Amino acid sequence: MMMLINWGLPFFLMMMGIFIFISNRKHLLSMLLSLEYIVLSLFYLLFIYLNMLMYENYFMMIFMTFSVCEGALGLCILVSMIRTYGNDYFQSFNILQC
């Protein structure tokens, strides 16, 4: 029973994050938050997997470093978009425009 909870919970959290990412397409901030939620659920899955196999947790630190860099890059894009267009709605700007 405990094994089902250990493996089922991260997959359920990841599927909920993917569902939220698919259903919220109006604001960029909500999409970035759902992507960070998916990354955290993947981190939890990686934590369980590496602890079960009794490996070192060095790879988890590298994964967390890259996910923090990805989150900072997303926030930079969000700030630049808000400064350029005035809001974070996807409908307010043309993606094909250079």
CB 34 within 8 A of CB 24: yes
CB 54 within 8 A of CB 47: no
User: Residue 72 is which amino acid?
Assistant: A
Assigned domain for 97 exists: no
Assigned domain for 96 exists: no
Assigned domain for 48 exists: yes
Q: Assign 24 to helix, strand or coil.
A: coil
- Whether this prediction's pTM lies above 0.85 is answered by no
Assigned domain for 95 exists: no
Structural domain span for residue 47: 2-85
Assigned domain for 78 exists: yes
Assigned domain for 76 exists: yes
pLDDT digits (tens, 9 = 90+) for 31-63: 888 889 999 999 988 888 888 888 888 888 899
pLDDT digits (tens, 9 = 90+) for 56-81: 888 888 999 999 999 999 889 888 88
Assigned domain for 91 exists: no
CA gap 48, 50 in Å, rounded = 6
Give the CATH number of the domain where residue 48 resides. 1.10.287.3510
Assigned domain for 94 exists: no
CA gap 66, 72 in Å, rounded = 10
Q: Assign 93 to helix, strand or coil.
A: coil
Domain total for the chain?
A: 1
